[in-house]
Structures are given as structure tokens and as C-alpha cells.
Chain A
Amino acid sequence: MYVIKKKKQWSEKVFTCWIDAPWVARSASPGQFLVTINSCKGERIPMTIVDVDGDSIELLFQVVGKSTLELSRMNEGDSLYAVVGPLGNPSVLQKFDGPAVFVAGGIGVGPIYPIAKKAKEMGNKVISIMGSRSETLLVMTDQMREISDELLISTDDGSCGRKGFVTDLLREVLERDEKPSHIWAIGPAIMMKFVALTAKPFNVPLTVSLNPIMVDATGMCGVCRVYVNGENKLACVDGPEFDGYAVDYDGFMGRLTQYQEKEAVALKHYMELEG
């Protein structure tokens, strides 16, 4: 079980893996996520489900620390210790009157792709906005183009699409005569915060998908708690999607830093062992 069937490297730090995980594949819906564990000593890492094909699921991940580095070094044919899911609630989609806008920052495109794809299948006009620091970090643009009526791209350095941020492009879309009905935004916490600030005056509903630190990811430990409308919610069982205008982003970002020092220790320890 949990064999890596296919692996693709997008850039220095971004990878796609197809992994055999029949219990996840049989019931995964857009908006849900899963947990992977590399080895018997591994940690439980929440990951987004990009796509499903038979018994396999597709993951998109960026190397940020020890566990993702270790995963990126595993090859086709290798097995993970565990893949668990699907977890969290599926996205609630419908046929909207106006366009549905999907804003993806960095590898946030991974989880946003299946949601946008489903929205398109339901007959919605899909406007996708993708952004990253630079062209080399942009991934899955072809897949996104395929399911979008319109694809807009921004990079911080201008190496692809508009020079600037996704929020610049979003503002222009929101200023158009054809008013969008709903916005989804998935990416770094700071991006989602600024999407909320940008979109708020236009009064268009916004859904964000949160990616906090998790352990069991089944509602048991509570590490993923976040204030939404002033009330503590668990991203793993109450989310991962929440009303983008109700999330306490500053509190959320604070909790993301909890293990920064330990993460550095783990990476150093791994590099000393494995090089």
C-alpha cells in the first residue's frame, strides 16, 4: 500500500506524486485533504489532494522542511508508511449567477484546482488567478488553463504575467461590470489575509482553505484551532474551508510559527545523517 506510482519535479522545490491510497481515492471530494506519514518515525503532514485516478491520489508539495525533503527524495516504487483520508469537509459548490473566481498563491494551486474543475463541470464561468514570486515557481498552469474560462497570472518579479500580486489582478476582476458571485482563495496565510482585505469592499462571498499545523487531523488534538468569527474552530473537522472574512489571520499566522525552531533542528539532524 501507499506506493509512489509516479513522480514529477516541477522546479527545484516543487513536486507532484501519484500515490496508491485506495481508502482515500474511493471517497475524496474537492476541498478535502489527507495526511501522509513518510516512515514509522515520521510526522503526520496534512497535504492537499489535487486529483484522483482509480486507486491513486495526486499530491502537490513544496519542500519546506525535513519531511517534505525526505518525501521529495523518495522514488517511484517506494512506499510511504501511511496515507490517511480524505479529511475535512468537501467544498460546497453550486451553479452561480456570476463568475466564480479562484485565487491561488504558490502551491495553493494544488487544492484549488479540483475545486475550480468541479465548479467548471457544474457550468460556472471560472476565472482563475495564479501568483507566485517568480515564473519558475508557477506550476500546473496548463491544467488550470484547461478548466478556466480566463486565467490571469502575476509574479512578484514580473517574469511571467503581470508584475505584482494576485490581489492587484483580483481587484481588477472585481471592478468589472460582470460581478463575480463567489471567490475561493488558497495560498500562504498572508495572501489569504490580503485577498480578504481586497475583496471585502466589493461584498462578494469569499471562501479560504486553511493549512495550519496538524497532528491527528481527525478532530482529536486541537492544534489546528483558529478563531473564526471569534469562536474557536478546528480546521481539520470544521474546515478546512471557512468564511474568508471571519478568520483571525493574525492569530492563525502566529500559530504557524510554533515549531519554527524545532523544524530547523529536524532539518539539520536529517542533513547530518543523510547529507
Chain B
Amino acid sequence: MADMLPIKERLKIKRHEMPTLDPEKRGKIFEEVPTGYTVEDAISEAQRCLQCKVATCMDGCPAQVRIPHFIEAIVAEDFEKALEELKVTNALPAVCGRVCPQETQCENTCVLEKQKRPVAIGRLERFVADWNRNNVGHKLPVCAPEGEIKGKVAIVGAGPAGIACAADLSKACYDVTVFEALHKVGGVLRYGIPDFRLPKDILDSEIDAIKETGVKFVTNVVVGNSITVDELALEYDAVFIGNGAGGPRMLGIPGENLNGVYSASEFLVRVNLMGARNFPDFDTPVNFGRKVVVFGAGNVAMDAVRTALRLGADEATIVYRRTKNEAPARDEEIMHAEEEGVKFHFLASPVKINGKNGRVASIICQLMKLGEPDSSGRARPVPDEGKTMEIEVDTVIVAIGQQANPIVAKSATGVRTDKRGYFVASLETGQTTREGVFAGGDIVTGAATVIEAVGAGKNAAQAIDRFIRSKKLSVAEEANK
């Protein structure tokens, strides 16, 4: 067992870098890029944690993960206990350890961030989940429900928000059914995030652990069409809607419907969910060309452009109207993309896609320059008048964000949506404008992070527990009168 070092000693340890696959080799394969800490790395990194009395790191975590506790267990070399600590609040540590933007969340509020060397909380979270999966098997220590079933809850959407809500409610002794429109569960973790960032067997393992607590997943049911929210509200004590934003946003420029123009969702769904990279062994194909351009610079854009490279594109380029500084993707994703050979065209805004015989042939971009900051605080890009460029391409992928999917909302009487189609719900409780119906994740906030959706699912689980208990209490009181 490793000793708890004096603070002075702990401060001397350097932050452990994440080992990664060689960029030369990985650029053509779908193997996970970061390879994970060794036991020695993890213990040493865990010793860097100062075990602050007031754990400011937790303020940065939407899921309120017990960060000092799980790190303390790593130092004690009790990795099973470390996982138990993680799973008190987060059912998806292997996922969150990989895809959370820790640099803007827990690691940003770590006291050591002031010296620009925060504890690598995300890498440690991933280590704990992976160690347990590899050494203890997939039967992860989630609290199994005990005692009487307190009620029935329906959850719409098996993505991060729905899964987190389901896991917490199941732990709190509720009978939970999750309805998923697609044929596989996981939501964006399944269809959106590529294997090189989140291998799907790892996702399966975390979901299997949740299934073992008794959560039922029903796939191929499109809530809104197969069954309405109104019907669910009658049959269940409460309903949680976490169906994700899930609609493609296009640019609205000429040429957008030419063959060879994809939304990022279509491109990633074909490859990740439908197995298109193994066509024709799998039935779903994807057409990718030699020269691929991706519009946008968020995480989805990086996923798309790196996927295009792995599928065999000769050239894969990001076109973004601002600069690298304003790019919404994680620094790590941009760095990985650069290492793998992705090209970047900053300060260029696409205005037209030219076609030849119905297929994409080139794009025309208006060159931009940075102006005054806009409402998001980022410098607003303004056209550099008279300057345009044309790039010859054969595939265009549009990754400029999402819009609300209308299917669920149209079947939910009394659940108000805003003018963009997102549900109006409390960010603290997920309460919508209809009693007994809660919502959280991207369908409330618009596209956000996985952990924010997890946080929203967790908050709603607490609120649903309170709602059902008070409802049953008042029914019982009524009966006793």
C-alpha cells in the first residue's frame, strides 16, 4: 500500500501525462487513442491530490462525484473501493473518465489549477473503471435495490441523461423502464462518439452493470409515435424525458443537398451505430471521398474529421469561421486531430457548395476576420470583404450543432417547449410544465456535454423520488381520513 505523502512531497510530483498510441499508426485505425494509466502512474498521480477539506473540485462536477474519496482509495490501492466511491453518484465512470471535458469542470476547480497543474481527475476516474472491468469482471459494485418498490418510472431515451436517471432511481428502489427509439442503447455514446474515443465494449459493460440492478431497457420504441408521453404518464408514476437534441442543423447554403454532403450525425451514425466501416460485411454503406472537409470546430466536428481520416481519406480538413482559440472542441481533441494530420482552415465561412453531376465538387468560403466579442464572449467573425477561396473537395460534413427533435414533444400534452422546440424545465429538478413529467439533458439545454446530461438525469432522479413519495404520502393520508 502506498503511503500518504506529506503535502510538500505531494507537491513535488509532476502531473502524469496520458500515454497515447503513436499518431502515425493510429490515424488509420479505430483503436482507442489514449491508452490509460498504469497502476504505478495512477497511484503516483493520486498522491498529488491534496485531499482538501473543502473539495472545490466537486463544485466543477455536474454529477457531484466524490472526487477526494475515490482518489484516497487509489492511494490506498483499494481500487474496488475507489469504484464504489465513484458509483455513489456516477453510473458511467469509464465513459465520463474518457469523454468529460475535465479541464473546464473538476480539474478547472482543483486548487492546483492555479499552478496550471491540476490533479488528472478524469484519467484517474478512467483508470479505476478500467482496472475493475479488467480485474473484477463486469459485475461492478452498484448498489442493488433492496426493500419495497417505491413506484414505476418511465424514461424516454437511453442516452447519458436517461441512463443516469435510471441508475439512480433503480438504486432508490424504483421499477424503471427505459424506452429507446434506436435498436441499441447508449444514445450519443453509441451513435456519436467514435470507438477511438470510447470503445463500445466499455460502454456495454457500464450499461450491463445498470441492467443488473433491474433497469429494463426496451429498444425500438419511438416515444411520440409507438407510445405517447400522455400514455406513459397514465401508466407510470413519473416520466423522465431525455431524448437528446438529435436533429441535424444544416447551413442553409446553396448545394447543401448535393450527394456527398452529410450532416455529422448521418456520417457518425452510419459508421458508429450501423457499422459502415465494415461494409459490405455490414449492410450500411458510407461514401467517403479522398478530400473531405468538415464545417465546424466542436467535438463532433473533430470526431467526424478524425473518422474520415481513419476511413481512408487522403485529406481531411476543418473549416471554421473563427480561430483555434474560439473553437469549442476540447484542446485535447484538437491536438489529437493535428497530430493525426487533420488540416485546419480558420477564419473561413462556407457560402456555397458547387456540384458536378449531382455530386460535391468544391466549396466556396468567405474569408473572415475577428471583430468585437459577441454575446458568447467570443470574438465575432466578420467577413473580410472581397476575399473568398475555393477548395476542391468530394465530401462535405456539416458539424455546426443540433436542433430539437420534434417527435417526443408533439405527444406530450401540457409540456411546454420554447420557440426552438426545447422543453421548458427546471435545471435543478427537471420539472416541466406538467406534473409528473420531468426532462433533462440536451432536449432542455441544447447540445451540451455528456456529464451535464448525467447531472441533469441525476437531479431529476432526486426530484422524481421526492415527487412520488409525496404523492403516495398524500394518497395514503387521503385514504386514512
Hey, what's the 0/1 contact readout for A21-49 against B, CB within 8 Å counting as 1?
00110110000100001100111100000
The one of B247, B266, B278 that contacts A223, using a Cβ cutoff of 8 Å: B266
Binds B, one of A96-104, A109-117, A165-173, A213-221: A213-221
8 A Cβ contacts from B236-252 to A = 246-248, 250, 252
The one of A219, A225, A232 that contacts B246, using a Cβ cutoff of 8 Å: A219
**Given A41-B283, A85-B225, A85-B226; A222-B266 close (CB under 8 Å):** yes
Q: Are A216 and B283 closer than 8 Å at their CB atoms?
A: no
Q: Are B181 and A227 closer than 8 Å at their CB atoms?
A: no
Nearest B residue (CB) for A218: B181
Residues of the A chain whose Cβ atoms lie less than 8 Å from the Cβ of B274: 43-44, 215
Q: Majority SS of interface residues in chain B?
A: loop
Residues of the A chain whose Cβ atoms lie less than 8 Å from the Cβ of B283: 38, 41-43, 66-67, 266
Nearest B residue (CB) for A227: B257
Query: Contact size class for B?
Result: 35 or more
The one of A27, A251, A270 that contacts B227, using a Cβ cutoff of 8 Å: A27
Q: Are B259 and A221 closer than 8 Å at their CB atoms?
A: no
8 A Cβ contacts from A213-264 to B = 215-216, 218-223, 225-227, 232, 234, 237, 251, 254-255, 257-259, 262-263
Q: Are B246 and A215 closer than 8 Å at their CB atoms?
A: no
**Given A43-B274, A257-B358, A262-B279; A215-B263 close (CB under 8 Å):** no
Check if A200 is an interface residue, CB within 8 A of chain B.
no
Residues of the B chain whose Cβ atoms lie less than 8 Å from the Cβ of A44: 183, 274, 284
Check if A191 is an interface residue, CB within 8 A of chain B.
no
Residues of the B chain whose Cβ atoms lie less than 8 Å from the Cβ of A32: 225
**Given A43-B284, A262-B279; A219-B406 close (CB under 8 Å):** yes
Interface core residue of A37, A218, A237 (most chain B CB under 10 Å): A218
8 A Cβ contacts from B259-284 to A = 259, 262-263, 265-266, 269-270, 273-275, 278-284
Interface core residue of B191, B220, B269, B284 (most chain A CB under 10 Å): B220
Binds B, one of A5-13, A76-84, A120-128: A76-84
Residues of the A chain whose Cβ atoms lie less than 8 Å from the Cβ of B227: 23, 26-27
Q: Are B221 and A23 closer than 8 Å at their CB atoms?
A: yes
Check if B107 is an interface residue, CB within 8 A of chain A.
no
A24 to B221 alpha-carbon distance, docked (Å)? 8
The one of A23, A216, A257, A266 that contacts B259, using a Cβ cutoff of 8 Å: A257
Q: Are A222 and B248 closer than 8 Å at their CB atoms?
A: yes
Check if B400 is an interface residue, CB within 8 A of chain A.
no
Check if A265 is an interface residue, CB within 8 A of chain B.
yes
Interface residues contributed by chain A, number (CB under 8 Å):
46
Residues of the B chain whose Cβ atoms lie less than 8 Å from the Cβ of A131: none
Check if B405 is an interface residue, CB within 8 A of chain A.
yes
Check if B182 is an interface residue, CB within 8 A of chain A.
yes
Check if A145 is an interface residue, CB within 8 A of chain B.
no
Q: Are B183 and A23 closer than 8 Å at their CB atoms?
A: no
Interface core residue of B181, B225, B280, B287 (most chain A CB under 10 Å): B225
Shortest Cβ gap from B240 to chain A (Å)? 19
Q: Are A215 and B270 closer than 8 Å at their CB atoms?
A: yes
Shortest Cβ gap from B49 to chain A (Å)? 40
Check if B285 is an interface residue, CB within 8 A of chain A.
yes
Residues of the A chain whose Cβ atoms lie less than 8 Å from the Cβ of B225: 27, 32, 85-87
21 A-B contact pairs sorted by A residue (CB < 8 Å)? A23-B226, A24-B226, A84-B220, A85-B225, A85-B226, A215-B266, A219-B246, A220-B246, A220-B248, A220-B405, A221-B263, A221-B266, A222-B266, A225-B250, A232-B250, A237-B406, A258-B287, A259-B285, A266-B279, A266-B280, A270-B280
Residues of A within 8 A of B (CB): 23-24, 26-27, 32, 37-38, 41-44, 66-67, 81-87, 215-216, 218-223, 225-227, 232, 234, 237, 251, 254-255, 257-259, 262-263, 265-266, 269-270
Cβ-closest 8 pairs across A and B: A222-B248, A262-B285, A221-B266, A43-B283, A269-B280, A222-B263, A43-B284, A23-B226
